[in-house]
Structure 1
Amino acid sequence: MPSAPPAQEAAPPTHLPIRYPDRTLIGVLVTLALTAAILVLTCVVLWYNGPAGPDSPWLQWFIDHRTETWTTVAKGVSTAGDTISVTIYSTLAVVLLAWRRYWEQAILIAIAALGAGALTYFGKLLIGRDRPPVIDHLVTETNHSYPSGHALGSTVVIGILMAVALPVWGRATRVAAVVLATVFVIAVGLSRLYLGVHWPTDVLAGWLVGLCWISFCLTVLPRRIRRGIETRISAA
């Protein structure tokens, strides 16, 4: 009988499999890093018990460069990023998503927006920092200064809306949306300095707390919500 041909050995792989990092681990690390930065900044603010570091000269720079045109722009941008406006944005998004039966995304946005409001309220209450001198104010504010509610709220609401919407948009639309969202959030924070109602460290804290809260929400996202978002992405 003819002998059976020798079995051929399997060809070695031409490339090694790519191991992608765990998104949950990355989210935890980002959240921890932002939390550490917030704690350091807050300790500095409490230590100075007033303007901290470059607060005074940076704020004065904005005051020195005021013009009638820029004042109108700053007031408009500030209004677009205030509590009422971001509440409208998030509410419209929740209603639209619920109407389309994207319950998981609607819940995520609602939780993020409500959390932003709570962080702003209790952060101001806990730190109790006074605002810059009233003589420099171009708008009326009566609550505490740290962190900036405009910076925090706009960061969270715009950021979470981007997190939900970006996966189903095309590349060009995603890039444009990210650029516009980033410019808007930065402009809202800077408008508060121009109007003289916040120290720069207030605005920086608002941005950091907002980013930290977004990272936390996306990291601890319940499995059901994450599955719903992934289903929407695959169906797009």
Structure 2
Amino acid sequence: MDFLRSMMACLFGRRGQPDAIPNEKLALYSDKTPYQPDMMTYGAASQPRYLYPSNPYPHDVLSYGTMIHPPAPAPLRSNEDTAAEVVRLLRRAEYSDHVLVRRTNEALGDRRWTRELVEACLDDVIDLVAEGRRRFGEAMGEALDEATDAAVDEFQFRRPGGPGEVGDGFATIVAVGILVLMQGPWVLEFLGFGEVREDGGLVILEKFRSGSIASWWAREYAASIPAGSVEDFFRALGVL
């Protein structure tokens, strides 16, 4: 038997190391591994790549060759789509309170309020004002009544319900009033009517910001806007 083991060791180039051929029966009862470490363990050169930090995507190696990429971020909605969702919340609201403000802010998602977004909301509210209050919820209906009364008192537009249709100038300032009452005076800064002070108060600008909705409205309907009427309008709404 020793001769046979020596011959087999020679065949494997391991003469003088008979332990290279293990006694399998002995291995069943021995605490020592019958296999040489260099026969069973990997050297550094043969280690799988995913065990090393040089591979920044360890799961790519373990996914049967299929690269795993993070999901693409969802595209931002357009200003028009976001504004439609915000105005839908305003139109259906029963109360104009902090809960409504929170819900409209949540509707923005990852977006922030911008001039373009506020103007898109204003466009949608103008359309609602022109259509009439039949589509208004309770909170927006109350804001419509308050803004309409203030606009009739301060400006010289045709009174709604009178001869002819409500003009764009009247619908615009009433829609601005609705947004102010339901969201807060900060919208006036985005629309170019005023500036919000550090203490949270509002200052109506003597000259509306160039290129803004306010400057367009004041220029387009100057004949219907008496001096000081804009400030009086917002004072009647309780935001000054």
Q: How would you bin the TM-score normalised by the shorter chain?
A: under 0.3
Larger proportion of helix: 1
TM-score by length of 1: 0.24
TM-score by length of 2: 0.24
Q: Which has the larger radius of gyration?
A: 2
